[in-house]
């Protein structure tokens, strides 16, 4: 695994531990407080662990010996006399020197620590430190000289530690500024004789730059949550007598911290299902002409303001007919609905709470046990989930997520008395249809799009709005995927695209069925952010 991406984090954390380490050593010499010994031991232990993870063996080795020495002080074998304190300070200085070399990123080898390690290992309360090599002209061995404090490169405060709560507040403030900007722009348009277009455009540009910088501070590499997944797949495979490996691609792509926190658990559900139910036993795979060991891949694809996470396995796949039959047996759908299901719609049935088949239920997971949580998590983040599968070849789970969930690009739409918004990541395209372009089959309205029949649904009754008394001219349509199927939503008017600051809905709006959040427009009007995934009853 390439650890270079974590170098800056290691350097920052190491300097923090070493600064505390050196300060505590001085306090230990003056007070002898045993609590200080515990703190010193903790810092040395943390530094050892981080260095070992990064494969900086000289740092981890020296930190380990300092840890051993402090353990003896902690256990009462040694007292923190001057000789021991000098040795600890010398060790801290050498560690700081090593970290500084790593920070520079040069090819300079780390200094040798063998002599210092020998003196630490051989230290005794009576003898003090092991004598250094004596020169012929030295009558007495002098006390080791301590390095004078020096400012390092990072003392220019290139990096600082910021609490996540502070970053969250910065996002909120940035969002409020964007809302205020829209209000100012809307009000200026109504004032005659004003010529503020240029400064307003400049303000808009600066706000976008501020937004980007704030979001950048919250971005973390996907690998920070994904590095645990290969071990998960390995352990699950071995526990079931199976063989499977996980390959992760593009783990260096960065996502908002809030996205990472909420997507880790859903991905673990998918991987568990892939191993437990998607993957065959080795003898089954070989009988089917497959390699003995199964392959699972987790890939990230970045596209503008969203990222798609794809999980694929080369296992047994899923049978859409079997899924539809099971859903019908459980009363989730009727026989007519089961017959009309497409394969994509059948695969989405596994996301119904508690849905499973007798052949796929185990103590670990089931196609559907946990998949409802996956769909809910993706939906709460403003993303979409789609599933593909081929019997005997495997399954593919596509999670399309925004890079951030607080400030988004939204498509504003008028429907009855409501102004609503769709995240642009959930919209495939928009259409302006003439009445002649709409036709009816079996009581349903359709239009032709790219050679296929696309079902049309009027958004008015869905949102509890009265139908328009008449239709004149072109009919606006929002094209999106509902239940994995391309569908069109008829609205009154498409206003356009705008950047909005999404806030969670409080009472009494928190119970609105199809809204995932709200935003305030420049005129003070509240806009509800629609969740495409809630339109699952459209059939």
pLDDT tens digits along 139-191 = 446 343 334 444 444 444 556 667 778 888 888 888 888 888 888 888 787 77
Phi-psi region of 195 (alpha: psi -120 to 50; beta: other; left: phi over 0): beta
Q: What is the pLDDT of residue 154?
A: 44
Does the structure show a pLDDT above 60 at 537? no
Name the residue with higher pLDDT: 506 or 94.
94
| 351: nearest Cα among 372, 370, 374 | 372
Q: What value does the CA radius of gyration of the chain take, rounded to a whole number of Å? A: 31
- Reported as a single tens digit per residue, the pLDDT across 446-463 is 899 888 888 898 888 888
Structure confidence at residue 473 as a pLDDT band (50, 70, 90):
confident
Strands 407-415 and 418-423: what pairing? antiparallel
Structure tokens that stand for 308 in this block: 């798609």
Q: What is the pLDDT of residue 140?
A: 41
Q: What percentage of residues in the chain have a pLDDT greater than 90?
A: 16
Task: Point out which residues pair with 478 in neighbouring strands.
Answer: 430, 489
User: In this structure, are residues 504 and 517 in contact, taking their beta carbons and an 8 Å threshold?
Assistant: yes
Average pLDDT on 286-311 reads 89
β-bridge pairing 452-458 and 244-249: unpaired
pLDDT > 60? residue 251: yes
Instruction: Give the pLDDT of residue 369.
Output: 46
> Of residues 312 and 25, which shows the higher confidence score?
312
Task: State yes or no: pLDDT of 12 exceeds 90.
Answer: no
Q: What is the mean pLDDT of residues 479-497?
A: 85
Count of beta carbons in the 10 Å neighbourhood of residue 184: 14
- Per-residue pLDDT of 372-424, as tens digits, reads 888 878 877 777 888 999 999 999 999 988 777 677 888 999 988 888 898 88
CA–CA gap between residue 365 and residue 326 (Å, rounded): 17
DSSP for 435-461 reads: GGG-EEETTEEEEEETTEEEEEEEHHH
506 pLDDT band (50/70/90 cuts)? low
Output the pLDDT for position 356.
Answer: 65
> What's the confidence (pLDDT) of residue 127?
53
| pLDDT score, position 405 | 67
User: What tokens appear for 386 in the block?
Assistant: 């789609």
- Top pLDDT among 126 and 244 is at 244
* CA atoms of 437 and 435, how far apart (whole Å): 5
pLDDT band at 126 (very low <50, low <70, confident <90, very high): low
Structure tokens at 163: 């609490």
Q: Which tokens go with 252?
A: 């260096």
């Amino acid at each position: 695994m390439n650890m270079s991406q974590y170098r800056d984090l290691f350097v920052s954390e190491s300097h923090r531990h070493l600064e505390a380490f050196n300060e505590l050593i001085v306090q230990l010499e003056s007070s002898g407080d045993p609590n200080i010994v515990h703190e010193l031991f903790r810092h040395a232990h943390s530094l050892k662990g981080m260095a070992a993870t990064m494969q900086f063996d000289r740092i981890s080795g020296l930190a380990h010996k300092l840890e051993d020495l402090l353990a003896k002080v902690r256990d009462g074998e040694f007292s923190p006399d001057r000789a021991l304190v000098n040795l600890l300070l010398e060790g801290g200085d050498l560690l700081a020197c090593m970290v500084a070399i790593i920070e520079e990123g040069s090819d300079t080898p780390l200094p040798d620590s063998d002599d210092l390690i020998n003196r630490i290992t051989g230290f005794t309360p009576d003898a003090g430190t092991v004598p250094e090599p004596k020169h012929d002209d030295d009558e007495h061995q002098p006390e080791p000289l301590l390095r004078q404090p020096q400012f390092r490169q990072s003392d220019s405060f290139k990096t600082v530690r910021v609490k996540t709560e502070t970053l969250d507040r910065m996002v909120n403030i940035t969002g409020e500024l964007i809302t205020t900007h829209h209000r100012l722009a809307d009000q200026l348009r109504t004032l005659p004789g004003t010529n503020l277009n240029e400064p307003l455009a400049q303000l808009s540009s600066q706000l976008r730059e501020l937004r980007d910088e704030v979001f950048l501070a919250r971005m973390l590499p996907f690998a920070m949550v994904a590095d645990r997944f290969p071990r998960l797949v390995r352990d699950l495979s071995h526990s079931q007598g199976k063989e499977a490996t996980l390959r992760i691609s593009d783990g260096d792509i960065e996502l908002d911290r809030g996205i990472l926190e909420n997507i880790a658990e859903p991905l673990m559900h998918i991987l568990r299902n892939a191993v437990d139910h998607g993957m065959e036993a080795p003898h089954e795979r070989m009988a089917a002409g497959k390699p003995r060991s199964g392959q699972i891949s987790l890939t990230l694809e970045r596209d503008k303001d969203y990222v798609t996470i794809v999980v694929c396995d080369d296992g047994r796949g899923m049978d859409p007919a079997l899924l539809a039959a099971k859903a019908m047996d459980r009363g989730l759908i009727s026989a007519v609905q089961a017959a009309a299901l497409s394969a994509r719609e059948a695969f989405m049935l596994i996301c119904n709470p508690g849905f499973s088949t007798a052949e796929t239920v185990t103590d670990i997971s089931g196609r559907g046990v946990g998949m409802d949580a996956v769909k809910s998590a993706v939906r709460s983040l403003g993303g979409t989930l789609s599933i593909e599968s081929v019997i005997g070849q495997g399954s593919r789970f596509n999670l399309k997520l925004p890079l951030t969930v607080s400030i988004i690009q939204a498509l504003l739409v008028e429907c009855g008395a409501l102004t609503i918004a769709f995240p642009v990541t959930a919209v495939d395209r928009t259409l302006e249809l003439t009445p002649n372009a709409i036709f009816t089959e079996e009581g349903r309205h359709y239009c032709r799009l790219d050679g296929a029949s696309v079902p049309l649904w009027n958004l008015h009754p869905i949102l509890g709005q009265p139908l328009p008394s008449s239709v004149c001219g072109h009919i606006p349509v929002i094209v999106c995927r509902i239940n994995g199927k391309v569908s069109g939503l008829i609205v009154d008017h498409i206003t356009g695209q705008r950047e909005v600051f999404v806030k969670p809905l409080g009472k009494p709006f928190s119970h609105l069925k199809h809204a995932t959040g709200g935003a305030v427009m420049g005129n003070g009007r509240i806009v509800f952010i629609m969740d495409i995934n809630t339109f699952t009853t459209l059939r």
